[in-house]
C-alpha cells in the first residue's frame, strides 16, 4: 500500500509574496509563504481573519486582482511547472483542469441566470472539449458524484431553486468536473448547518479518495482541521508561523499563537469556566511592528521578540515553528 511519504509532490510553494498597494502603504498580505503538498494529502491553513489565508490560495489560482494586488516574488510549482511564469491565456487552461477552487459562498460563485447543468458543463466543455450527449452524460455523472439526487432533472434548475447544501455540492461538482490534481476549499462549510456540514466533509473525503486529489483546506474551525487534514499551517500577519502534522500541532504546539488558538477552543475532557482569549488585535499589514508581529499580544514576549523576527526552527520531521523561545 502506497503511503503519503511515497507519493509525488503535486504542489510546491516557495517563498510566495503577494503585496497590495494602498494609500496607507504596501500591504504584505502574503510574505514569504512556503509549503508542499503530495497527491491525496490534505493541508489545513488556519489563522484569524486578515492573516493571509485567502490571499494565499487566490495567489495559487493567480486570481489576485491587479491592481492593487501583485505577486511580487516566489514560485508556485504545480505538477512540475512554475505557473507564475505562464501567460494569462495559459493559466485559463490550468484553472479547472489542474487546480480548482471551492469558494466560500455558493450564492455568489454561482450565476443566478444560468441553469445548474450549463454551469457545471462549462469547464468540461473548455478543458475536455465534450459537447452534445457526451457533455450531458458527463454533467449528470459529476452531479451524481457529489450525491445530488435526480441529477437528470436538477441540471435544469437554477441556483435559487436549490437548498444551501445542494448549492454547495454544485460548486463542488464544478471544481472536480475535470479531476484536478489540487483542490482548494476556502471555508466551504461556513454557510452550512452542522448536519449538512458533516455530510459535505464526508463527501470531500470520498471524492479525494476516488480521485487521489490533494486538498488545501482554509478554515477557522480547528475541529474540521482535526477531522480532515493530514498537516496544518498556522498563519499570522501574512506568514506561516508553525507547520506540522495534525497530531504535532494539536498535542504539542510550539508557537504561542498556535497555543493561543487551541486554548480558545472548548474541550470535553477539561472542565473550565472561561475560555482563553487572545488580547489585542492583529497588526495592520501596511505597518508591521519591528520584530515578531505577534509579540504585542504574546504572554511569553521577550525584548528580543520586539527587535528581530525569529528564524524557522525545525523541531522534528515536518514540524517547524518561528519563535525565539525555541532557541533555548
The sheet with strand 319-321 has its strands ordered as 99-102, 182-186, 214-218, 42-46, 231-236, 239-245, 319-321, 313-316
- How many structural domains comprise the chain? 1
Is 263 within the bounds of a domain?
yes
Strands 69-78 and 313-316: unpaired
Is 160 within the bounds of a domain?
no
What is the structure's pLDDT at 30?
92
What is the structure's pLDDT at 4?
58
CA-to-CA distance for 9 and 38, rounded, in angstroms? 4
Instruction: Give the three cell numbers for residue 46.
Output: 488556519
Instruction: Give the three cell numbers for residue 191.
Output: 454557510
CA-to-CA distance for 83 and 92, rounded, in angstroms? 11
Domain of 234 in residue numbering reads as 1-87+220-268+285-328
Is 235 within the bounds of a domain?
yes
- For residue 306, what is the domain's CATH number? 3.40.50.300
Backbone angles phi, psi at 30, to 5 degrees: -130, 120
CA 322 to chain centre: 21
CA-to-CA distance for 81 and 92, rounded, in angstroms? 15
What is the structure's pLDDT at 320?
93
Is 234 within the bounds of a domain?
yes
What is the structure's pLDDT at 178?
84
Is 155 within the bounds of a domain?
no
* Tens of pLDDT, residue by residue, the chain (328 residues): 455 566 789 999 999 999 999 888 889 999 999 999 999 999 999 988 888 898 999 999 999 988 888 999 999 999 889 999 999 899 988 888 899 988 877 777 888 899 988 988 888 888 888 888 898 988 898 888 888 888 888 889 898 888 878 888 888 888 888 888 999 988 877 767 777 778 788 888 888 888 899 999 998 888 888 888 999 999 999 999 999 999 999 888 999 999 988 887 776 666 767 777 888 888 888 888 888 999 999 888 888 999 999 999 998 888 999 999 988 6
CA-to-CA distance for 156 and 17, rounded, in angstroms? 42
Task: From 238, 248, 256, select the one nearest 295 (Cα to Cα).
Answer: 256
Q: Using an 8 Å Cβ cutoff, are 131 and 125 in contact?
A: yes
CB-based contacts of 187, cutoff 8 Å, min separation 6: 104, 218, 219, 220
Is 169 within the bounds of a domain?
no
Helix (H), strand (E) at residue 82: strand 81-82
Return the SS3 of 290. coil
CB-based contacts of 271, cutoff 8 Å, min separation 6: none
Sequence-ordered strand ranges (E) for 23-64: 25-38, 42-46
CA distances from 212 to 37, 174, 186, 208 (A): 12, 17, 19, 5
Instruction: Give the three cell numbers for residue 272.
Output: 473550565
Q: Using an 8 Å Cβ cutoff, are 186 and 102 in contact?
A: yes
What is the structure's pLDDT at 1?
46
Is 47 within the bounds of a domain?
yes
What is the structure's pLDDT at 43?
94
Is 162 within the bounds of a domain?
no
How many CB atoms neighbour CB 159 within 10 A?
Answer: 20
How many CB atoms neighbour CB 55 within 10 A?
Answer: 25
Instruction: Give the three cell numbers for residue 259.
Output: 497555543
The C-alpha angle with vertex 32 and arms to 29 and 36, in degrees rounded to 5, equals: 110
CB-based contacts of 5, cutoff 8 Å, min separation 6: none
Dihedral of the alpha carbons of 180, 182, 183, 187, in degrees to the nearest 10: -170
CA-to-CA distance for 319 and 243, rounded, in angstroms? 6
Amino acid at each position: 500500500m502506497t503511503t503519503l511519504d511515497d507519493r509525488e509532490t503535486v504542489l510546491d510553494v516557495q517563498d510566495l509574496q503577494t503585496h497590495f498597494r494602498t494609500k496607507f502603504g504596501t500591504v504584505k498580505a502574503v510574505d514569504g509563504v512556503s509549503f508542499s503538498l503530495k497527491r491525496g494529502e490534505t493541508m489545513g491553513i488556519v489563522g484569524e481573519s486578515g492573516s493571509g489565508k485567502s490571499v494565499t490560495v487566490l495567489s495559487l489560482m493567480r486570481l489576485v486582482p491587479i491592481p492593487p494586488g501583485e505577486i511580487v516574488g516566489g514560485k508556485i510549482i504545480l505538477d512540475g511547472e512554475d505557473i507564475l511564469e505562464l501567460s494569462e491565456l495559459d493559466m485559463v487552461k490550468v484553472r479547472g483542469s489542474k487546480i480548482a477552487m471551492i469558494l466560500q459562498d455558493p450564492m455568489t460563485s454561482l450565476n443566478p441566470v444560468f441553469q445548474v447543468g450549463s454551469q457545471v458543463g462549462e469547464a468540461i466543455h473548455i478543458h475536455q472539449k465534450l459537447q452534445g450527449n457526451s457533455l450531458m452524460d458527463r454533467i449528470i455523472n459529476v452531479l451524481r458524484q457529489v450525491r445530488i439526487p435526480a441529477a437528470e432533472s436538477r441540471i435544469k434548475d437554477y441556483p435559487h431553486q436549490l437548498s444551501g447544501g445542494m448549492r454547495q455540492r454544485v460548486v463542488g461538482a464544478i471544481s472536480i468536473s475535470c479531476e484536478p490534481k489540487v483542490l482548494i476549499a476556502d471555508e466551504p462549510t461556513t454557510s452550512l448547518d452542522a448536519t449538512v456540514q458533516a455530510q459535505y466533509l464526508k463527501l470531500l473525503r470520498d471524492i479525494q479518495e476516488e480521485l487521489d486529489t490533494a486538498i488545501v483546506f482554509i478554515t477557522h474551525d480547528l475541529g474540521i482541521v482535526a477531522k480532515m487534514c493530514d498537516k496544518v499551517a498556522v498563519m499570522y500577519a501574512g506568514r506561516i508561523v508553525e507547520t506540522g502534522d495534525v497530531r504535532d500541532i494539536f498535542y504539542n504546539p510550539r508557537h504561542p499563537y498556535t497555543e493561543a488558538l487551541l486554548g480558545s477552543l472548548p474541550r470535553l475532557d477539561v472542565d473550565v469556566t472561561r475560555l482563553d482569549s487572545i488580547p489585542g488585535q492583529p497588526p495592520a499589514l501596511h505597518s508591521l511592528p519591528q520584530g515578531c508581529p505577534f509579540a504585542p499580544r504574546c504572554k511569553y514576549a521577550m525584548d528580543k521578540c520586539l527587535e528581530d523576527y525569529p528564524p524557522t526552527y525545525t523541531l522534528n520531521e515536518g514540524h517547524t515553528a518561528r519563535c525565539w523561545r525555541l532557541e533555548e
